[in-house]
């Protein structure tokens, strides 16, 4: 029976990152580990590394750098409200400010029509035709 509990306490890093919902699929989590986007104390770690409570990881996802501290081991993927109980987000404040600035800059209106928003209205089309003539 004790071997079963020891086996249960072992958890791969890629499975942990997938189960706490930092990555959409486990294969994406494994690819991120293998490509050096997941680091522990500045050193890239492999997907098969065992996760322990108290470990800290730097994880670069698509648009964000996460710094997380493991507070519990999660073996299965659960809903987000449950998953956030198994890690603590310790991302530095300057990284969060940079993200906020990027969001504001991307939403800055330049006066041009946003792509893929839809066709011009009849009035906008008439204005365009007048401008071209």
**Has residue 103 been placed in a domain?**
no
Domain contains 69: yes
Per the CB < 8 A criterion, the answer to whether 26 and 15 are in contact is: yes
Q: Residue 4: which pLDDT band, with cuts at 50, 70 and 90?
A: very low
The average confidence (pLDDT) of the chain is: 85
Residue 104 belongs to some domain of the structure? no
In a domain, 63, yes or no: yes
Residue 32 domain-assigned (yes or no):
yes
Is 121 part of a structural domain of the chain? no
Tokens of 8: 């249960």
Asked if residue 27 is part of any domain, the answer here is yes
Q: What is the pTM of this model?
A: 0.70
Q: Note whether residue 68 is domain-resident.
A: yes
Neighbours of 10 (CB within 10 A): 11
Which residue, 109, 31, 34, is CA-closest to 23?
31
Q: What is the mean pLDDT of residues 76-91?
A: 94
CATH number at residue 68: 3.10.290.10
Pairwise CA distance, residues 32 & 85, whole Å: 23
**Res 104 pLDDT > 80:** no
Structural domains in the chain (count): 1
Token pair belonging to 24: 């959409």
pLDDT for residue 5 is more than 60: no
What's the mean pLDDT in 111-130?
79
More confident residue, 124 or 81: 81
Q: Within the chain, what is the greatest distance between any pair of CA atoms? A: 84
């Amino acid at each position: 029976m004790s071997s079963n509990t020891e086996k249960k306490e072992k958890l791969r890093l890629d499975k942990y990152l997938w189960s706490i919902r930092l990555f959409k699929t486990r294969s994406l989590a494994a690819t991120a580990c293998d490509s050096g986007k997941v680091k522990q104390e500045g050193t890239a770690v492999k997907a098969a590394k065992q996760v322990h409570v108290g470990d800290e990881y730097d994880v670069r996802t698509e648009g964000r750098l996460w710094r997380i501290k493991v507070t519990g081991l999660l073996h299965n993927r659960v809903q987000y409200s449950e998953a956030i109980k198994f890690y603590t987000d310790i991302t530095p404040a300057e990284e969060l400010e940079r993200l906020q600035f990027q969001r504001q800059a991307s939403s800055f209106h330049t006066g041009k029509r946003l792509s893929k928003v839809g066709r011009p209205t009849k009035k906008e089309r008439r204005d365009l035709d007048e401008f071209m003539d």
